[in-house]
Amino acid sequence: MKKKLLLAVCMAAPSLLLAAESVHQSVSASNRALLDQYCVICHNQAVVNSLATSNEGLQTTQLRNLGLTLDTEDVSDLAANPEVWEKVIKKLRVGVMPPPNYPRPDKVRYDGFRTWLEDELDSIAANRANPGRTQAFHRLNQTEYRNSIRDLLDLNIDVSDLIPADAPDQYGFDNNAEVLALSPLSVERYVNAAHKIAELAIGAPPRGASITTYDVPLNLIQDDRLSEDLPFGSRGGTAIEHLFPVDGEYRITLNLQTNYVDFVRGFDDANEVELSLDGEHLQTYAFGGDAPGIPAPYSYAGNIRGSDDWEEFMMAFADEGFELVLPVKAGPRVIGATFPREMWEAEGVQQPRLFGYQLAVTELPDGNPGIGSVEIEGPLSIDGSGITPSRQQIFSCEPISADEEPACARQILSSLARRAYRRAVTENDVQGLMEFYKQGQLEGGFETGIQFALERLLVSPDFLFRIEQDPRNAEPDSMYPVTDTELASRLSFFLWSSLPDDELLDLVERSELRDPGVLETQVKRMMSDSRSSGFIENFVGQWLYLRNLDGIYPDPAAFPEFDENLREAFQRETELFIDDQIRSDRSLRELLSADYTYVNERLAEHYGIPKIYGNRYRKVMLEGAERGGLFGHGSLMMVTSYPNRTSPVLRGKFVLENLLGGPPPEPPPNVPALETSNDGKQLTMREAMAMHRENPACRVCHAAMDPIGFSLENYDAVGKWRTQFAGQAIDASGLLPDGNTFDGPDGLRGLLLERPDDFVGTITEKLMRFALGRSLEYYDMPEVRGIVRAAREDDYRWSSVILGVIKSAPFQMRGTEL
Amino acid sequence: MKFFNKTLPRRTLLRGIGASLALPLLDSMVPALSAASAQVAQPSKRLGVVYVPNGMAMKAWTPATDGAGFELTRILKPMADYQDRMLVLTGLNGTNSNAGVHASASTRFLTGTIPARTESDLQAAVSVDQLVAKQLGRQTQLGSLELALDQSDVFGSCDIGFSCQYTSTISWRDAYTPLPMETNPRAVFERLFGDTGTTNPAVRLKRIRKDQSLLDAVSERVSELNRQVGAGDRAKLDQYLDAVRDVERRIKMAEAQSNRELPLVDQPAGVPDTYEEHAKLMFDMQVLAYQTDLTRVITFMMGRELTGRTYAEIGVPDSHHPTSHHRDDPALYEKVTKINEFHTSLFAYYLDKLDATSDGNGSLLDHMLMLYGAGMSDSNRHDNTGLPLVLLGGGSGSVKGGRHLRYEEGTPISNLHLTMLDKMGFPVEKIGSSTNALNLLSDV
């Protein structure tokens, strides 16, 4: 057969088209044969069209629900249904199809087919580009709102109480325009928020005093210097930034940590606690010391009492905190409360480390006192609006006489509107704001006028929504480059999750944003700017599930050593690591292969890294294969576990979804809970999940997820390295459906690093989704592959990938309506 | 060039927070009663529940005689003025539990069931106040209000093996959703009256007008934008316009009703320093809430179940919970009795205010069904039988007070819940473990 074809080609040499056509035919035939041999057995029309019966196998139901009919799809004309072929590519990328125990083509043919599919789809896309269409009105989410307020008004405010939280879309990102709806409740909240923010920003005198309480979590261990804002030689306590609305008198109250019956902790010995404001010492309070009478035994406090005088002494400060009334200047200030470190070691038998219920009830007589909470009440009296960063930002001019007021108001409001609306300001815009200014000015003078106008600005759709509009005479079913204004917003919300700054707006006004080299320069500037922390918080926080870290409470009985210090360290480690990677413009491969991380003493202790002292985070080089790269991060291991045990399935799913781009489908309904013990004997995870391997319907997906998860079993549910579980040595070997074997996190790393295109491609997909604020469709995939190809030339550096996304068609252009 | 046409994503739903509590509303959201004005021809019934923790010193609670003309015991004496409107109920049982006795106490009080044993997955049952709120709440701005004096700040488990959420609430929206209780009077005020910081009608009216003009301006701008975009893009803005119009409608209603007379109260700064001040302030908020008809169902915990609070101000500097394990020691028993008495005297302050607030053709108290009590009787033994319960108020004439009623052994508290539903006007056949409505109450 082959010989014949060759002959035909040779004889028809001049007719290249004919030759190409027959090559095309033979490739198609070969691919058709491949599909028929390995895929159509299951994915065919007969199965999909069959009627459901009550006793059919789970696999049949799954196949029908999937609806994939590879016998009817035409592999010689991918353009007829590119969506389906992109889906196929996803499965081939992670090698889960054909499922285990089914015949599979050899690696060369397998990879070859996939590559062919990708190349074909890419060339089809090259002929008919489709940048997709973002929504015309894209509401700012909570984070973007907060950052915008911060950058617009130089006001740091926690908006989570003010406006509702946003639910993430099915990919885990909360900046998808499709899910950012607007309900009557939200509108009310935005109006209320506008009142509060305007009042704070202007420094308008509040109606009355209010009390803000800052609680210190009970299981934050206060053994060391806890913050850079607290002095050297201090121990424990807390440093909080509080926004004092106006110059005036405030009362600061310290409450020491007590147990649940209000006994102050660590009261046995004399102690001191210090209060400071912006690093300056305010007052020292002494407490504790020789308690009279007979103490209660060192145990469950309260039920077995000490003598009356001892009991009363222990509760002497139970209801009275330490307080200070003092004048404070308006603005964000740091209140510090901490204890001087003692330089002696406690004697005798110490209480074991307490956790959970014990921690709540016992009074730790031989332990250290701690800060329970800090209350700030005020203003008790008002001296004036003071000089705050937000006032300085807003009042770019100050009218000396009443005549000057309107002009100054215009100047202020135009400037604010330009930044808030992220575009050149029209006379209409200013007029609208000036009307509110006039109302306010009548009521309370110049500053009240500005306050009213600011409220109007903050509820304006031009502020709350990112607006993209088709050009006036756009043809339906076409595409156009987004305006420079729209591009500037896309850039700043991608890289900063916030408003474009003056430099970007200036470039837009001079029509220079799209000049050669300008984009690259700007991207570089923006990534080095401190505001790029918004990118890490928002993109990385959601991509790596870091946002979930705060909501997980590991079972204290299973993990008694877990405390808030560790939770905080997990978060910082990952943030600092990624930040360093991006700023140093490393290759994305180092996310997995890095040989360093950031630890402080607490984290180093957890990881078994010796000789690290103090609370500050520092870069350490790592030895051995246990840590290094994202898999070694406690944060990732914790967010992919349950409170009392690891979950190989969650970990496998994470890798498939966020690193390999082949997310598994939803599990079937009515899956029973996992039995983790059998007749009292605890099972290893592998044993417990035997059903995943035995039932063919389960095996389809779990054959890929479980081995990945098992390879990470050395990390327990709080990321600690272990070699044993359930009385057996941990077996971290894995076998993937495509035949690849690996062992342990090192093996998994190696496996992923062998296919950097896949792993970088997945991150690029996520980046693109985040940058566009919409779901990615099949027509975006060729773009993604193009970016990865280009990045490959530059060793997959962050800058290449990010610039690749920014320069791509979906980012630069927009499709019109059909 | 062909795009594959995508219909609007299914996710274009209106999404609110979906929180179980009503959320802060715009200023002066005086209720959207359908034709109602400040004059209420048929004043509606209100439900109130006040809960005290750690059981009761039963020897100083249970009256010696039954029926009418019973003698007030020491703990009941602070409520002497209301004896004729009070029904002391003795002999009702909560479900027994061997573990988590405190978690069971608070949970069973309004649900009649005990909690499932877990620190994470919570399960009980819907509470009777929420059943009432589902009905009454349709006519008020806030379906119900859940308040407390103790913060739930002990993480993890409070009663060993049981999540802290069990002991810090008595209201359950459904079997899996315990409702958080608000402890900060400032937050309560804001939820009721918005953020002008005062009930002063002139101030609030000014805010209403300003918000109206803000929203007018917004609508104008949105309509302008709407004209500039294609049909497909309008959906988002239409959603925005609908939302704005909805809020405007409520503002208009609020403006129409803003002449309702209210005591002049300023927003509290936060949680007051002493227990007594805190309790009284929260009681004041509750009266205001009923008075403005912002809600008709309020539950209030005067302390977290298993609380260790001390009461130095009444000469009991000992922690409540350990003291409640009196072991029949007379000195300790005296201390617990004092604490219970303190609670009822504060409760009497609340009753005084309710009685003094006029409500159509009577007082608020006349139209209220109020339940006061604890989820366990003798605290030393964590006794679940013969719970200390008092039913107060006129219930709009449906409750005849002035009697001490004793029920036969084993009568479940769910029978009381059944009767409460009946008195509030929402009779059901069965609730929790009820066997029957409470007999002696229904001959009214």
The string of pLDDT tens digits covering residues B213-259 is: 999 999 999 988 888 887 777 877 888 888 888 888 877 777 766 66
pTM, whole model, 2 decimals?
0.84
From A79-83, A169-173, A784-788, B418-422, the region with the lowest mean pLDDT: A169-173
Q: Over 70: is that where the pLDDT of B34 sits?
A: no
Tell me the C-alpha to C-alpha distance, in Å, between residue A205 and each of A8, A244, A248, B128.
Answer: 91, 11, 10, 44
Sorting pLDDT into bands at 50, 70 and 90, what band is A266?
A: confident
Q: What does the pLDDT read at residue B27?
A: 28
Which helix (H) or strand (E) segment holds residue A47: the answer is helix A45-49
Helix A427-444, helix A446-458: angle, nearest 10:
130
Q: Over 60: is that where the pLDDT of B1 sits?
A: no
Q: How far B133 CA lies from chain A's nearest CA (Å)?
A: 20
Q: What does the pLDDT read at residue A1?
A: 44
Q: Over 80: is that where the pLDDT of B15 sits?
A: no
Dihedral of the alpha carbons of A809, A810, A815, B1, in degrees to the nearest 10: 60
Minimum-distance CB partner of B244 among A187, A195, A467:
A187
Helix (H, G, I), strand (E, B) or coil at A62: helix
Taking the C-alpha atoms of residue A518 and residue A310, their distance in angstroms, rounded to an integer, is: 73
Contacts of A46 (CB under 8 A, 6+ apart): none
- The 3 state secondary structure assigned to B350-394 is HHHHHHHCECCCCECHHHEEEEEECCCCCCCCCCCCCCCEEEECC
Q: Over 70: is that where the pLDDT of B68 sits?
A: yes
Q: What does the pLDDT read at residue B26?
A: 31
Minimum-distance CB partner of B269 among A211, A305, A318:
A211
- Which of the given ranges, A316-325, A640-649, B247-256, B344-353, has the highest pLDDT on average? B344-353
Q: How far A519 CA lies from chain B's nearest CA (Å)?
A: 29
Mean pLDDT to the nearest integer, A247-270: 82
Which residues of chain B lie closer than 8 angstroms to A356, CB-CB?
A: 156-157
Sorting pLDDT into bands at 50, 70 and 90, what band is B5?
A: very low
Q: Over 70: is that where the pLDDT of A363 sits?
A: no
From A211-225, A378-392, B35-49, the region with the lowest mean pLDDT: B35-49
Q: How far A312 CA lies from chain B's nearest CA (Å)?
A: 7
A560 vs A409, higher pLDDT:
A409
Mean pLDDT to the nearest integer, A459-464: 95
Please indicate whether, in this complex, the C-beta atoms of A191 and B26 are within 8 angstroms of each other.
yes
Sorting pLDDT into bands at 50, 70 and 90, what band is A473?
A: confident
Mean pLDDT to the nearest integer, B114-134: 81
* B312 interface with A at CB cutoff 8 Å: yes
**CB-CB contact of B98 with B300 (8 Å):** no
Mean pLDDT to the nearest integer, A664-673: 73
* B117 interface with A at CB cutoff 8 Å: no
Mean pLDDT of chain A: 87
Q: What does the pLDDT read at residue B19?
A: 24
* B69 interface with A at CB cutoff 8 Å: no
Which residues of chain A lie closer than 8 angstroms to B153, CB-CB?
A: 215, 218
Q: What does the pLDDT read at residue A8?
A: 52
Question: A54 exposed, middle or buried (CB, 10 Å; 0-12, 13-18, 19+)?
Answer: exposed
The ipTM value here is: 0.81
Taking the C-alpha atoms of residue B284 and residue B350, their distance in angstroms, rounded to an integer, is: 8
Which residues of chain A lie closer than 8 angstroms to B247, CB-CB?
A: 184, 187-188, 191
Mean pLDDT to the nearest integer, A48-53: 86
Mean pLDDT to the nearest integer, A742-760: 91
Q: Which residue of B has its CA nearest to A356?
A: B156
Q: How far A441 CA lies from chain B's nearest CA (Å)?
A: 13
Q: B6, B8, B15, B314: which to substitute to probe chain A, counting the most A Cβ within 10 Å? A: B15
Tell me the C-alpha to C-alpha distance, in Å, between residue B293 and each of A508, B37, B40, B93, B398.
Answer: 54, 11, 11, 33, 20
A191 vs A665, higher pLDDT:
A191
Helix (H, G, I), strand (E, B) or coil at A351: coil
Q: Please, where are the H alpha helices in A100-229?
A: 107-127, 142-153, 184-202
Which residues of chain B lie closer than 8 angstroms to A455, CB-CB?
A: 210, 214
Q: Over 90: is that where the pLDDT of B390 sits?
A: yes
**CB-CB contact of A256 with A339 (8 Å):** no
Mean pLDDT to the nearest integer, A661-686: 75
* B221 interface with A at CB cutoff 8 Å: yes
A167 vs B184, higher pLDDT:
B184
Q: What does the pLDDT read at residue B18?
A: 25
Q: How large a percentage of chain A has pLDDT more than 70? A: 93
Mind listing the pLDDT tens digit for each residue in A19-49? 777 777 788 888 999 999 999 988 999 988 8
B171 vs B257, higher pLDDT:
B171
Q: B170 - beta bridge partners?
A: none
Q: Which residue of B has its CA nearest to A431?
A: B217
Q: Over 70: is that where the pLDDT of A555 sits?
A: yes
Q: How far A500 CA lies from chain B's nearest CA (Å)?
A: 22
Sorting pLDDT into bands at 50, 70 and 90, what band is B33?
A: very low
Which residues of chain B lie closer than 8 angstroms to A218, CB-CB?
A: 153-155
Q: What does the pLDDT read at residue B35?
A: 36
* DSSP assignment string, A503-556: HHHHHHHTT-TTSTTHHHHHHHHHHHSGGGHHHIIIIIHHHTTGGGGGG----T
Pair of tokens at residue A88: 């196929």
Q: How far A443 CA lies from chain B's nearest CA (Å)?
A: 11
Please indicate whether, in this complex, the C-beta atoms of A185 and B23 are within 8 angstroms of each other.
yes
Please indicate whether, in this complex, the C-beta atoms of A319 and B312 are within 8 angstroms of each other.
yes
Q: How far A468 CA lies from chain B's nearest CA (Å)?
A: 9
Q: A182, A473, A781, A813: which to substitute to probe chain B, counting the most B Cβ within 10 Å? A: A182
Half-sphere exposure of B101 (CA within 13 A, CB side): 14
Sorting pLDDT into bands at 50, 70 and 90, what band is A631?
A: very high
B266 vs A373, higher pLDDT:
A373
Q: ∠ CA(B330), CA(B335), CA(B340), 5° rounding? A: 120
Q: How large a percentage of chain B has pLDDT more than 90? A: 36
Q: Over 80: is that where the pLDDT of A696 sits?
A: no
Sorting pLDDT into bands at 50, 70 and 90, what band is A694?
A: confident
Contacts of A162 (CB under 8 A, 6+ apart): A189, A192, A193, A196, A197
Tell me the residue ranges of DSSP E strands in A409-532.
465-467, 479-481
Q: What does the pLDDT read at residue B259?
A: 63
Q: How large a percentage of chain B has pLDDT more than 70? A: 84
Sorting pLDDT into bands at 50, 70 and 90, what band is B361?
A: confident
* DSSP assignment string, B169-234: -S-EEETTEEPP-B--HHHHHHHHHTTSSB--HHHHHHHHHHHHHHHHHHHHHHHHHHHHS-GGGH
Please indicate whether, in this complex, the C-beta atoms of A207 and B210 are within 8 angstroms of each other.
no
Mean pLDDT to the nearest integer, A119-123: 92
* B1 interface with A at CB cutoff 8 Å: yes
Q: Over 90: is that where the pLDDT of A247 sits?
A: yes
Mean pLDDT of chain B: 81
Sorting pLDDT into bands at 50, 70 and 90, what band is B38?
A: very low
Mean pLDDT to the nearest integer, B334-341: 95
Mean pLDDT to the nearest integer, B406-419: 90
Q: How far A136 CA lies from chain B's nearest CA (Å)?
A: 6
B20 vs B215, higher pLDDT:
B215
* B236 interface with A at CB cutoff 8 Å: yes
Q: B5, B7, B11, B316: which to substitute to probe chain A, counting the most A Cβ within 10 Å? A: B11
A1 vs A151, higher pLDDT:
A151
Which residues of chain B lie closer than 8 angstroms to A184, CB-CB?
A: 14, 16, 242-244, 246-247
Minimum-distance CB partner of B267 among A208, A470, A556:
A208
Q: Over 50: is that where the pLDDT of B195 sits?
A: yes
Q: What does the pLDDT read at residue B28?
A: 32
Q: What does the pLDDT read at residue A27?
A: 84
* B18 interface with A at CB cutoff 8 Å: no
Q: B2, B6, B233, B266: which to substitute to probe chain A, counting the most A Cβ within 10 Å? A: B233
B203 vs A442, higher pLDDT:
A442
Taking the C-alpha atoms of residue A589 and residue A580, their distance in angstroms, rounded to an integer, is: 14
Minimum-distance CB partner of A211 among B3, B236, B270:
B270
Please indicate whether, in this complex, the C-beta atoms of A319 and B211 are within 8 angstroms of each other.
no
Q: What does the pLDDT read at residue A558?
A: 84
CA A526 from centroid of its chain's CA atoms: 19
Q: How far B20 CA lies from chain A's nearest CA (Å)?
A: 14
Q: How large a percentage of chain A has pLDDT more than 90? A: 52
Q: ∠ CA(A276), CA(A278), CA(A280), 5° rounding? A: 50
Sorting pLDDT into bands at 50, 70 and 90, what band is A349?
A: confident
Q: Over 60: is that where the pLDDT of B443 sits?
A: no
Q: What does the pLDDT read at residue B193?
A: 81
Q: How far A324 CA lies from chain B's nearest CA (Å)?
A: 15
Q: Over 50: is that where the pLDDT of B137 sits?
A: yes
Which residues of chain B lie closer than 8 angstroms to A213, CB-CB?
A: 270-271
Tell me the residue ranges of DSSP E strands in A320-459.
322-328, 331-340, 371-384
Mind listing the pLDDT tens digit for each residue in B318-335? 778 888 988 888 999 999
Mean pLDDT to the nearest integer, A775-780: 91
Mind listing the pLDDT tens digit for each residue in B368-381? 999 999 999 999 98
Q: What does the pLDDT read at residue B158?
A: 65
> Nearest to residue B106, comparing CAs of B43, B164, B53, B35?
B53
Q: What does the pLDDT read at residue A351?
A: 65
Please indicate whether, in this complex, the C-beta atoms of B222 and A169 are within 8 angstroms of each other.
no
Minimum-distance CB partner of B229 among A136, A165, A311:
A136
